[in-house]
Amino acid sequence: MKKKRRPDKSDLEAIRDQILDFACTKHDFKLETDDFLPDGGWNGVFIVKFKDNSKEDRLYCEAPLGEHFFRFGLDLVFDENVWEIEHENIFREVSGYDVAIYPNPGSDKGKDGKRHCRLYSRAWVPNFSQRIFGLTLSNLMDCKDDVMSMLLKK
């Protein structure tokens, strides 16, 4: 049986370039940070600008060298009191999109009266294409919008 090749730095660079080349009628991508880590992994941050409105967001990317997935993330910020009351509903809403939510790395819990979290979704390297990336990004954006609109209704 043939052993599958593990993704290497050239794969990570090719996928990073594919994200930059992503052509969509609603989004433009600009690389804000681009870090190849000493262990060979890659962390990048893209600024996503929407052509149909002035909204922009940061898309966080993590790709450990040799792993078969990329992890994409979007930030969410909640009032600490809202988080305490609604966190179960937030988790329920997020899980419906097959997305994970974690405390944002580097943020102090409730320091500014806000809870900083990051939504995460994975895309598998062997299947990675502009279509898969577009679906992953759309799923993250829809999830974020629905969580925020759910909280506005309450």
- Which pLDDT band holds residue 113 (cuts at 50, 70, 90)? confident
Closest listed residue to residue 133, CA positions, set 74, 72, 75, 76: 72
Q: What is the mean pLDDT of residues 101-112?
A: 71
pTM: 0.82
Whether 31 maps to a domain, the answer reads yes
Q: What are 132-153's pLDDT values in tens digits?
A: 888 888 899 999 999 999 888 7
Whether 2 maps to a domain, the answer reads no
Reduced DSSP (H G I as helix, E B as strand, rest coil) percent helix, strand, coil of the chain, to 5: 35, 35, 30
Whether 1 maps to a domain, the answer reads no
- Which pLDDT band holds residue 39 (cuts at 50, 70, 90)? confident
Q: What is the distance of C-alpha 118 from the center of its chain?
A: 8
Number of separate domains in the chain: 1
Whether 75 maps to a domain, the answer reads yes
Whether 45 maps to a domain, the answer reads yes
CATH code of the domain covering residue 130: 3.30.1460.10
In this structure, the strands spanning 27-36 and 42-50 are antiparallel
Domain of 49 in residue numbering reads as: 9-153
- Bridge partners, 122 (sequence order): 71
Whether 3 maps to a domain, the answer reads no
Contact 118, 61 (CB under 8 A): no
Q: What are 56-96's pLDDT values in tens digits?
A: 889 999 988 778 888 999 999 988 888 889 999 999 999 99
Whether 73 maps to a domain, the answer reads yes
Whether 4 maps to a domain, the answer reads no
